[in-house]
Amino acid sequence: MTGRTLQLPEGRDVVLFWIQSERDTPAQAEVYERQVVGRCRAAASAYRMDLRLVTVDEIVVAQRDSGARVWVSGELVAPATAFFHTKLVSWPAYRSDMLRHLTTYGVLEGAGFCVTVPPLHNIVSNDKLVSLLASQQPGIRTLPTVRLCTREVAAHPLVLDDWSLDFPVIVKPASWGSGMGVLVARSKPELASVLQLAGAAELTLVIQPWLGPGTVDWRVYCVQGEPYTAMTRCAAPGRAAANVRLGGQAEITAPPPPLAALARRVAASVGLPYVCVDFLAAGGDFWFSEIEVDGGTATGGAKLTEVRFGAYRQLFDSFVAAGPVKRWRYA
């Protein structure tokens, strides 16, 4: 298998393949193209990168003793002129494809290509408790959290009793985003009903104390480990999730110095060129909530998108300059 060699447009010296889900509907793809892709293409172009949307179905990898070869949409690509944006999407419609995506990211990394989000970082980012455990720093507060798979609902009451949960509590899917599926349970019977419904859908949930209707969700955008800007989000009346699409309010602002210092420590532990560090704020206190490796694409503004793609370009240049390296070790 040979195929044609990757061709670069004039003025570009590298292709960034942005791996998307093949399950996006035409309507979703149209909205994403209008709200996100145009801005991202312009930002990539400013750094001589050609941004191309692809799916894992378009990627073929072959291995021989001489090494691996990778084709994308029938074009043979090389680590010196191509790299991949590898953000796992774990929302409900994409759940059945998660392993295909993760293993494809691992194959690309193992074949010697630069990836923006390694497989392990995707696992950390896509489970709220893994995110807390992997990124928690001494002196940074987190909310008490219970994570449970829900197929065996009858096994959980004893565990929950041991944790002595104080109601009301927030219940949310461990791997969803954008405020989807976030509920407030005000009593044990309400919590039991939520767990039974989640069990029917085979969801993994996390349970945390609810900080109340005045809770503010802070997102700090970090580039190369440094806080760049932030966004505050407040839930609409009667809502548990601070999400604009659910009627919440959002504002871009500078993070206060104490919060910036906390975000810097978390971002340093993650080690990615671009990451969002989320906190919950109530009563003058901050609690580290989770990391998001792909946040702010649509909401952070053109300047944030530009510096984000500049960080990706620096990642790629450093990767190429370092030369061939063994990507993982098993012993």
- The pLDDT tens digits of the residues spanning 241-277 come to 666 666 677 889 999 999 999 999 999 999 999 999 9
Query: Which positions ≥6 away from 258 have C-beta within 8 Å?
Result: 286
Say which residue the tokens 């997102």 belong to.
219
Please check whether residue 205 is in contact with residue 150, taking contact to mean a CB–CB distance below 8 angstroms: yes
Which class does domain 128-141+213-293 fall in?
A: alpha beta
Which range of 148-152, 193-197, 226-230 scores highest in mean pLDDT? It is: 226-230
For residue 222, give both structure tokens. Answer: 């970090």
Q: So what's the architecture of 4-117+314-322 in CATH?
A: 3-Layer(aba) Sandwich (3.40)
**Cα–Cα nearest to 278, from 104, 135, 171:** 135
Please check whether residue 128 is in contact with residue 145, taking contact to mean a CB–CB distance below 8 angstroms: yes
Between these two residues, 199 and 112, which has the higher pLDDT value?
A: 112
Average pLDDT estimate for 62-91? 92
Predicted local distance difference test score (pLDDT) of residue 299: 64
Tell me the CB-side half-sphere exposure of residue 241, using CA atoms within 13 A.
16
- Residue ranges of the chain that CATH labels 3.30.470.20: 128-141+213-293
Domain 146-209 has CATH 3.40.30.10: no
Instruction: Give 133-182 pLDDT, tens digit per residue.
Output: 988 888 899 999 999 888 877 666 656 665 667 889 999 998 877 667 78
Predicted local distance difference test score (pLDDT) of residue 328: 53
Tell me how far apart the alpha carbons of residues 77 and 96 are, in angstroms, rounded to a whole number: 28
Average pLDDT estimate for 174-202? 85
Please check whether residue 114 is in contact with residue 320, taking contact to mean a CB–CB distance below 8 angstroms: yes
For residue 31, give both structure tokens. Answer: 């909205």
How far is C-alpha 158 from the geometric centre of its chain's CA atoms?
A: 33
CA–CA distances in Å: residue 17 to residues 51, 142, 229, 279, 319: 6, 36, 26, 31, 16
Buried (b) or exposed (e) across 295-316, using 16+ Cβ within 10 A? Answer: bbbebbeeebbbbbbbbbbebb
Length of the chain: 331
- Residue ranges of the chain that CATH labels 3.40.50: 4-117+314-322
Query: Which positions ≥6 away from 115 have C-beta within 8 Å?
Result: 83, 84, 85, 86, 105, 108, 109
- Residue ranges of the chain that CATH labels 3.30.1490.20: 146-209
In the chain, which ranges are E strands? Answer: 4-5, 14-19, 49-54, 59-64, 67-72, 75-77, 82-85, 146-149, 169-173, 183-185, 204-209, 216-223, 226-234, 249-253, 274-282, 285-292
CA–CA distances in Å: residue 24 to residues 57, 133, 173, 217, 317: 13, 31, 21, 28, 31
Q: What is the DSSP letter of 9?
A: P
Torsion-angle region of residue 164: left (phi > 0), alpha (psi -120 to 50) or beta?
A: left
Q: Which residues are paired to 216 by β-bridges?
A: 234, 281
Predicted local distance difference test score (pLDDT) of residue 331: 40
Tell me the percentage of the chain whose pLDDT exceeds 90.
52
- pTM to 2 decimal places: 0.90
Helix (H, G, I), strand (E, B) or coil at 193: helix
